[in-house]
Structure 1
Amino acid sequence: MTAPIETTGTPAGADPEAVLAGARRGQIEGRSLLQIAWARFRRDRVAVAGGIVVILLILLAALAKPIESVFGLDPNTFYQDLLDPDLSTPKGGWGGMGWEHPLGVEPQYGRDLLARIIEGSWVSLLVGAGATLLSVVIGTVLGVVAGFYGGWVDSVVSRAMDTFLAFPLLLFAISISASLQGKAFGLSGLPLRISVLIFVIGFFNWPYMGRIVRAQTLSLREREFVEAARSLGARGPFILFRELLPNLVAPILVYSTLLIPTNILFEAALSFLGVGIAPPQASWGGMLTDATKYYQADPEFMMVPGLAIFLTVLAFNLLGDGLRDALDPRSK
């Protein structure tokens, strides 16, 4: 015979209403999905650290111009007196680091590396975030439409994804970026370069987001809440935007945080090849291109932009992993 289960501090035979009446509100109050996800995310200290670094990077990029103005930093000022006249390398050890130039100066021109890192931050983050936004919008719309309607619509969108994935993206991006050097679409100079990079990187990367959204939609369209919406007379657009898309926010958000560093690396690669951001505008990829000429005489010049790209990509990846675990309903 099984012994009765006793509850400490609860009188035997007490009514459930009496137990609830004696409990504090905080002990029985439910939590929303957002509160549960935030509690899970806070427990992951690595992801929290990555999120803090991402916030600081965004603030640095958004306030780059005011920071340069307040501290008197000019990314295009030449400090020729700090360079060796024979070798064109910074005087002293480690790239001429000092109180006035904490990260040193670059060879040949003598421009301040800290000022150029700050100036290049907004370019890299703007291109990465803009291209990601374009990829997410196109991929989400086409993916959810293909997964929900199926049939010939799914076939057309899926074949379009396969076609875009078959493109040699790097060669295509190089050819487009190199051909649009002067003036086009009413833009010229730096705005044209940034717009072209955002379009090329974002437009040809949407199939990755589209495949994820399509796969999730194929699973969600068979769920009970979709059938309930259909039984109440809801039409396709209502189900797409009011039933399916809210349930796709979590995977879209997670994959977006992982796609941003990929696009930042792509922009750095194009700038490294000389078809991205044109000098004298500072960019992390362009700084790496200049550093390849002096990596033996001044290795610190290559380490500074390399570490900036490394820390940015690492922070976004850690944040994305943490968000994935926090938003996963099956995680503990």
Structure 2
Amino acid sequence: MTSPLDVTGSAAEAQPESVLAGVDQEKIEGRSLGQIAWIRFKRDKVAMAGGIVVVCLVLLAVLAKPIEGIFGLDPNAFHQELIDPVLLKPKGSFGGISWAHPLGVEPQYGRDLLARIIEGSWVSLAVAFGATILSVTIGTVLGVAAGYYGGWVDTVISRLMDIFLAFPLLLFAIALSASLQGGAFGLHGLTLHISVLIFVIGFFSWPYMGRIIRGQTLSLREREFVDAARSMGAHGHYILFKELLPNLVAPIIVYSTLLIPTNILFEAGLSFLGVGIQPPQASWGGMLNQSISLYQADPWFMVVPGLAIFITVLAFNLLGDGLRDALDPRSN
């Protein structure tokens, strides 16, 4: 009688090749970290929806000028025939919405709101992306240096972060933007305004990214793969660029995505206060500024740019939350 614990039968003697002969190779194929992150991200339907909205907004901003040319949209064209000469408000309901003007027209001037929203999209995203790239670059370089080298390097950079975090950014941005309205550094007009906003927002917001990267670097520099690189004679620059930075890509992407909506709100706030993008150039914050004086004429003029800012910021926040969960190796 054969014991149930007997493992001398044919099943135990079978070779691995014969056991796996009928198994589909694709089913046991390993997945990369990027594939695993993508699978996790696809499971989050809310984050996917936010990502789709972000892609559409980016395409709208990039193709703003071609779209205006194809459909004949002019954000600065006046349509006085659509304005009631007595009430100084758009004819009809909901801001004069019609087939020719799907979002209506603004009071008094009759400029098309859809054209101005499209025109303002590339301004807001250009400032937000430019400021994010600047702050992420400075924050990553200084954060990695502080976390890896430690000692007096960490002390100097950390105190520098504290100084920038304590700096009255809003007051400085208002003062600097207001003082450079005429021209500076060979720049004038819209180019100057966008450059100033990118510099002010990006240069003074890098400590937020720097602190995050410094903390991640402090954790990574004690890991086994860094010790193995040191034992093989790797220099500091090699460890920084070949060992640490590749492992910091995920947090950099996540916090960059979460930093973009903050910069969009900052640019809209400065334009709302009148020290950001100057008219007649359309901007979402500037449209909200104009809607205050025109609110009694037609409240719809305040709703349209407000919704544009709300949807954009919400979409980026949802995308950032989804990326954070997908790229976190400790998540399920």
Q: TM-score, normalised by structure 1?
A: 0.96
Q: Deviations over 1:145-194 (max 9, x none)?
A: 00000000000000000000001111010000000011111110000000
| 1:83 alignment counterpart | 83
**Aligned position for 2:127:** 127
Q: Which residue of 1 aligns with 2:51?
A: 51
Partners of 1:17 and 1:215 lie apart in 2 by 47
Alignment partners' CA distance in 1, 2:82 and 2:150: 65
Q: Structure 2 unaligned runs (5+)?
A: none
Q: Is the 8 A contact 2:60 2:118 kept in 1?
A: yes
Preserved contact between residue 135 and residue 205 of structure 2 (Cα < 8 Å): yes
Greater Cα offset, 291-300 or 315-324: 291-300
The structural deviation recorded for 1:104 is: 0.4
Q: Does structure 1 residue 92 correspond to structure 2 residue 92?
A: yes
Q: Which residue of 2 aligns with 1:109?
A: 109
The answer (yes or no) to whether the contact 2:88–2:297 under 8 Å persists in 1 is no
| Equivalent position of 1:297 in the other structure | 297
Query: Residue 200 in 1 paired to residue 204 in 2?
Result: no
Distance 1:296 1:262 in 2: 30
CA shift at 1:215, angstroms?
0.1
- What CA deviation, in whole Å up to 9, does each residue of 1:74-124 have, x standing for no partner? 000000111111221111111000011010000121100000000000000
Matched residue type, 2:223: R
Per-residue deviation at 1:294? 2.2
Separation of aligned partners in 2, 1:88 and 1:139: 50
Per the TM alignment, residue 261 of structure 1 is displaced from its structure 2 partner at its CA by 0.4
* 2:190 alignment counterpart: 190
Return the letter of the residue paired with 1:12. Answer: A
Name the residue aligned to 1:61.
Answer: 61
Counterparts of 1:152-301 in structure 2 under 5 Å? 152-301=152-301
Could you say what the CA RMSD is over the residues aligned between the two structures, in angstroms? Answer: 1.6
Deviations 1:252-295 (A, max 9, x none): 00000000000000000000000000000000000000111122
Aligned-residue sequence identity (percent) comes to 77
2: CA distance, partners of 1:19 / 1:125: 56
Deviating runs (4+, > 3 A) in structure 1? none
The TM-score normalised by the length of structure 2 is 0.96
**Equivalent residue, structure 2, for 1:306:** 306
**Aligned amino acid, residue 223 of structure 1:** R
Structure 2 residue identity aligned to 1:193: H
Displacement, 1:225? Answer: 0.5
Matching residue of 1:320: 320
Q: Number of aligned pairs?
A: 327
Determine the structure 2 residue equivalent to 1:118. Answer: 118
